[in-house]
Amino acid sequence: MNNKPFQIDGIDKIILNHLINDARTPILKIARDVGISGAAIHQRLRKLEKSGLLAGSKFVLNPKILGYKTLAFVGIFLDNSTRYKEAIKRLKEIEEVTESHYTTGNYGIFIKILCTDNEHLMQVLNNKIQKINGVARTETFISLDQQIDRQLKI
């Protein structure tokens, strides 16, 4: 097993920075800025994908436009650590759960959820999350504002 981080060169960094800033940047524009062919850009992108560095590309929805105005983080206390896999399986069935993390510290699981309002949040907590077998209790933090949302700098 190789524990060395994947190495990228200056051209890869330029390509990635273009695409991180705007994933719709035309390949030919990037090629002109870098001074190499569009085919060479495609080749480098395939290499970066194959390495696992690129985890995909996607459009990012603005949840507020769809009516999801409450973002919360929930720490989930499990009554037994052996319940983790089953709890995750059930959390995947709850569409409001957008992220989950297996963490150190007090919580067995830490999740991010999006709800339309506080009442919706309460319903998700009481009727879905806290009914999962193995969930002993939860601790909820409502996000009032997000000031930082960025990719890793390369």
Distance separating alpha carbons of residues 83 and 47, to the nearest angstrom: 39
Structural domains of the chain sorted by starting position, each given as residue range(s) with its CATH number in brackets: 10-51 (1.10.10.10), 63-143 (3.30.70.920)
Distance separating alpha carbons of residues 101 and 104, to the nearest angstrom: 10
Name the one residue in this structure whose structure tokens are 């190499």: 36
Q: Tens digit of pLDDT per residue, the chain (154 long)?
A: 567 788 899 999 999 999 998 889 999 999 999 999 999 999 999 999 999 998 888 888 999 999 999 999 999 999 998 999 999 999 999 999 999 999 999 999 999 999 999 999 999 999 999 999 999 999 999 999 999 988 888 8
Around Cβ 83, how many Cβ atoms within 10 Å?
Answer: 19
